[in-house]
Amino acid sequence: MWIKICGNTNLEDARFAAQCGANAVGFVFAPSPRQVNVETVRQIARNLPPELETYGVFADAGLEDIVSAVNTCGLTGVQLHRSSDDRLPALLRDRLDRISILSVLHYKGDQFKGDQFEHQMMETAQNTALNGVLVDSSTTRAIGGTGVSFNWSEARNAFLRVAPKMRLVAAGGLSPENVQQAIQTLQPWGVDVVTGVEQAPGKKDPAKVLAFIRAAREASTETAQSLEERLKA
């Protein structure tokens, strides 16, 4: 189970996430209560363990701005929430061939009827420039870090059918209390959390970070064991 702790604004929180066993940390360059600048992230990233993945989160950002941030901060990945240019992932892949690129798909139950959500996921999964798809919730006030979960049961079948073709990351309203249910329901490749492990916007709660990572690891192990037992039956 790949675990990303996002919305970091300081070295202490990012380093603690790594110590607890997170695979990746994220930094929000888009307008947000957790927004950070390039110089802040550069100073943080240079003091993190080399095996920890570092993601920049961008919305409506241009190619050159993203490339500059990645190179200046030494980021290993980008998360694209929104772009007016459908070619952006491919252009980034040409310029930054070694980074991981996640595209964000917002699940809106009232807008996804029948197979529409699955169809959109499959279309996104066909983009060979991408390394994965992060499925998030959204509200009228925020495109990420909403603290609101989407309907996991409703999205379950689409997740299970698309999973063999693309790494799927579940996000939106996750917390130490519900991440196990999300993993058991959706069986994602990874999970991403922001508000569910915070004391306040931009400041993590160490106890919640540790509890989230432990709960996600435990749920992943249990889900794998259950699948193995069903295959043997």
What pLDDT score does 113 carry? 52
Q: Which of 13, 73, 136, 192 is catalytic?
A: 136
Cβ atoms of 45 and 11 closer than 8 Å:
no
What gap in Å lies between CA 26 and CA 80, rounded to an integer?
Answer: 12
In this prediction, residue 82 has a pLDDT band, given cuts at 50, 70 and 90, of: confident
What does 68-92 look like in DSSP terms, one character per residue? HHHHHHT-SEEEEEE-S-TTHHHHH
Q: Which CATH superfamily is domain 2-232 in?
A: Aldolase class I (3.20.20.70)
* pTM metric for this prediction: 0.92
Q: Which helix (H) or strand (E) holds 215?
A: helix 206-232
- Annotated active-site residue 6? The verdict is yes
- Annotated active-site residue 136? The verdict is yes
What pLDDT score does 109 carry? 62
What gap in Å lies between CA 152 and CA 172, rounded to an integer?
Answer: 10
What's the rounded mean pLDDT across residues 57-84? 94
What gap in Å lies between CA 96 and CA 94, rounded to an integer?
Answer: 6
Tell me the pairing of strands 132-136 and 203-204. unpaired
Q: Which of 6, 13, 73, 192 is catalytic?
A: 6
